[in-house]
């Protein structure tokens, strides 16, 4: 029996079935290459599902980790804050689209950042509704799952979803949905079932990742910006997968020149370490009360 086969047997016995895996058990990885337990070499096109934008073990990331480990690993920013959090917030405030005062919060996963962006939009608008799109993926927490526009495998068997989440069709030529039709459907949604004045946020990926690498047409993003401005809705860019230069620009939204109110980042942000962020208009990020946004 190979070591990979032994690991597969142990995995089946010890790890939750819902955590599905592919067959390659990683022993080590460097830049774009990965070696399995038998020493076989693979070219890693998956990159941790769009996470390792700078490759495995980028020397500057490794050096930063080693330096930090010598100082401290965790104090909890809420208890004993530190400079590197503030420095990263400053850099993200600079790097994200929009020529206005911005602020940032850091958390650990994409789903957690999505949830916090929705909390900010709700606190800012005093509304609770959210609109996302068919084919969207926004994470696996209860709200992330509700926002995700795909039932199998993400929502199947998990019961009732959080209320006040509506899905509009994503313009997708492959599914025969034009930009005009998608906008028409959104208008019909507003006319028939959801009052736009109750909507806190519209959340969209500039390029759907899990949904099949579908680029949101620039005209569609411009129209969403206008709709949000008209109704006082917060426009949230989920840049978890498209962001951090994965589309050739720092953010997927940069290609369209449409400026979202909040940007959600994760994956490539920390070269394989669990770090995510919400950056956006200072007045929206600051809407929750002190202590309303936390995490250990
Ligand atoms: C667009 C998008 N949003 C959110 C998430 C959730 O991120 P995480 O898996 O870090 O919770 C993902 C993960 O694939 C994603 O692609």
* Ligand 1 geometric centre to CA of 27 (Å): 25
| Domains assigned to the chain | 3-65 (3.90.1150.10), 72-285 (3.40.640.10)
Half-sphere exposure of 98 (CA within 13 A, CB side): 21
Q: pLDDT of the chain along its 296 residues, tens only?
A: 999 999 999 999 999 999 998 779 999 999 999 999 999 999 999 999 999 999 999 999 999 999 999 999 999 999 999 999 999 999 999 999 999 999 999 999 999 999 999 999 999 999 999 999 999 999 999 999 999 999 999 999 999 999 999 999 999 988 999 999 999 999 999 999 999 999 999 999 999 999 999 999 999 999 999 999 999 999 999 999 999 999 999 999 999 999 999 999 999 999 899 999 999 999 999 999 999 998 99
Distance, CA 138 to ligand 1 centroid (Å)? 5
Measured in degrees and rounded to the nearest 5, phi and psi for residue 250 equal -60, -40
Does ligand 1 have an atom closer than 6 angstroms to the CB of 132? Answer: no
Cis peptide before 153 (omega within 30 of 0): yes
pLDDT at 184: 97
Contact present, 290 and 132 (Cβ < 8 Å): no
Question: What pLDDT was estimated at residue 139?
Answer: 98
Q: Which of 267, 272, 276, 278 to mutate to test the pocket of ligand 1 (most atoms within 8 A of CB)?
A: 267
CA of 276 to the centre of ligand 1 (A): 10
CA-nearest residue, atom 7 of ligand 1: 110
**Ligand 1 mutation pick, 241, 260, 263, 264, max ligand atoms within 8 A of CB:** 241
> Does residue 252 line the site of ligand 1, with CB under 6 A?
no
């Amino acid at each position: 029996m190979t070591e990979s086969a032994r690991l597969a047997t142990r995995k089946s016995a010890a790890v939750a079935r819902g955590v599905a895996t592919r067959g390659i058990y990683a022993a080590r990885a460097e830049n774009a290459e990965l070696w399995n337990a038998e020493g076989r070499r693979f070219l890693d096109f998956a990159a941790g599902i769009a996470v390792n934008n700078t490759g495995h073990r980028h020397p500057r990331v490794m050096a930063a980790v080693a330096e930090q480990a010598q100082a401290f690993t965790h104090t909890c920013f809420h208890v004993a804050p530190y400079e590197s959090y503030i420095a990263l917030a400053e850099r993200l405030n600079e790097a994200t689209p929009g020529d206005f005062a911005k602020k940032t919060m850091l958390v650990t996963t994409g789903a957690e950042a999505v949830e916090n962006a929705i909390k900010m939009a709700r606190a800012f608008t005093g509304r609770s509704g959210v609109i996302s799109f068919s084919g969207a993926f926004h994470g696996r927490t209860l709200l992330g799952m509700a926002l995700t526009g795909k039932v199998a495998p993400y929502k199947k068997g998990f019961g009732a979803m959080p209320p006040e989440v509506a899905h509009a069709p994503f313009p997708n030529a492959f599914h025969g949905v034009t930009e005009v039709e998608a906008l028409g459907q959104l208008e019909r949604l507003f006319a028939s079932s959801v009052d736009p004045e109750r909507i806190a946020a519209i959340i969209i990926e500039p390029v759907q990742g899990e949904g099949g690498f579908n680029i949101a047409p620039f005209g569609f993003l411009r129209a969403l910006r206008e709709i949000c401005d008209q109704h006082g809705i917060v426009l949230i860019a989920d840049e978890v997968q498209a962001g951090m230069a994965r589309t050739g620009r720092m953010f997927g939204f940069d290609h369209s020149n449409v400026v979202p109110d909040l940007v959600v980042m994760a994956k490539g942000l920390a070269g394989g370490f669990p770090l995510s962020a919400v950056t956006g208009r200072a007045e929206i990020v600051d809407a929750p009360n002190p202590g309303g946004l936390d995490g250990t």
